[in-house]
Structure 1
């Protein structure tokens, strides 16, 4: 992500977002070269972000059919990434025609870049939607308190916002391929792409951030002492539900051998303390 932000700063300094007639010729070629390099990086980032979220699903949900569905979405995401990286790299013949075509002084040919961009964006949106809706049925089975439900809603709300940004980004593609002033017209396409990647990474990090927030604001993100003893809320409730679901399937589902329940350390300590009290 830092590389992409650095490249965005460099290309902005070179003249992206300005009228093409105010930019030196060598800067125009440089902007197109940076954009050419940026395309496969963008595809890689959005794809790996989805795969990261899907790996998180595999970590907490042991259901065999659900895991098969997750693996299927992961495969399609990987194929999407590979296919469109290759299409982006070889969109023109010769390859350097992608950043030299603008002055009409070099021989070469390019694919329909507009159609290519639309196809990549549509596939990306479909995979986003699949990633968001995939765990909803599993989550509906869990017994959680209202705070945990709100936190999950916020997490998936971020995922929905990523999809919305992808849709808004589609509008900017209309002007890109046919533009005679692409340094001006491509600017919205660039910042929508950057926003999409940033929010996607934030969404993928939210499950891990929950542990940090729970330490900083335990009253908001943690359960009560009584809940920790009974395992009815917060992360304890989630772990208890998933752990019970796993124990019911462990004898007939060999796919759950890699399942790692998200156990709450505080909950475990509270349960041990409760056992000691009972023994006394």
Structure 2
């Protein structure tokens, strides 16, 4: 298999991931500066509280979708690495993980949007007819599943790297690049700790959530860096069986 190629589907998902990541960063920064995310929740002015909750929902969805696109780009890249060799078992596993990744994204986004009935009950007080389930339980569960998915995507390429027919320096570069996934997964685990503390361990969700936004930034941008995989595309052909 030749090492060089033109644009492929993973490049599209990298672009999408980057766009959603920029949107995520923009929403968080604006909310920090204007909608009270940098203060205790009881100090947020009532006239911006509704907008603050909307910004939180937007940031949550943008983070979920961006991370999904990063994982999809990596999985597609794994498929490209083994496209000319007899790796049917690994290929099937990658396809299954791709399906689970897409399904998790869809479920997480739908749960985030439809957590309350009616939807706008999440950011407005409308009376006794509204029903909402716990945001703490929701975001903690979603975050845990996303971190597990990151871990799965992180370990999938290990057999691929083991069979790369390259010199030691190239193999080392490939291993280091893949190791960035460990940093992203670790950031996800730390993020999950702060998610639990902010939404289940305290009533002060805005102030308690400050560290989790930092972890989310690390997770998403390290994942993006890893998905570029520039060193892999200059590697020699994949080892033949």
- TM-score for the superposition, normalised by structure 2: 0.81
1:202 aligns with 2:222: no
Corresponding residue of 1:190: 213
Corresponding residue of 2:89: 65
Is the CA contact 1:100–1:106 (under 8 Å) kept in the aligned structure 2? Answer: no
Provide the C-alpha distance between the structure 1 equivalents of 2:178 and 2:24, rounded to a whole number of angstroms: 25
Provide the C-alpha distance between the structure 2 equivalents of 1:5 and 1:126, rounded to a whole number of angstroms: 23
Corresponding residue of 2:157: 135
1:220-259 paired onto structure 2 within 5 Å: 235=235, 238-239=236-237, 241-242=238-239, 245=240
1:83 aligns with 2:101: no
Corresponding residue of 2:54: 33
Displacement of 1:165 in angstroms is: 0.5
Unaligned runs of 5+ in 1: 212-233, 249-280
- TM-score for the superposition, normalised by structure 1: 0.71
Is the CA contact 1:40–1:88 (under 8 Å) kept in the aligned structure 2? Answer: yes
Corresponding residue of 2:192: 170
Which of residues 50, 53, 60 in structure 1 aligns to 2:71? 50
Displacement of 1:162 in angstroms is: 0.5
Structure with a larger share of its residues in helix: 1
Displacement of 1:119 in angstroms is: 1.7
Provide the C-alpha distance between the structure 2 equivalents of 1:40 and 1:208, rounded to a whole number of angstroms: 28
Root-mean-square deviation (Å): 2.0
Task: Write out per-residue CA displacement over residues 95-132 of structure 1, whole angstroms, 9 at most, x where no aligned residue.
Answer: 1121235xxx7442211222222221221122112111
Greater Cα radius of gyration, structure 1 or 2: 1
Displacement of 1:209 in angstroms is: 6.2
Provide the C-alpha distance between the structure 2 equivalents of 1:83 and 1:68, rounded to a whole number of angstroms: 23
Provide the C-alpha distance between the structure 2 equivalents of 1:49 and 1:32, rounded to a whole number of angstroms: 26
Is the CA contact 1:17–1:185 (under 8 Å) kept in the aligned structure 2? Answer: no
Provide the C-alpha distance between the structure 1 equivalents of 2:118 and 2:186, rounded to a whole number of angstroms: 35
Displacement of 1:149 in angstroms is: 2.0
1 or 2 for the larger relative contact order (CA 8 Å, sep ≥6)?
Answer: 2
1:17 aligns with 2:50: no
Displacement of 1:65 in angstroms is: 1.5
Displacement of 1:143 in angstroms is: 3.3
SS in 1 for 2:166: coil
Corresponding residue of 1:223: none
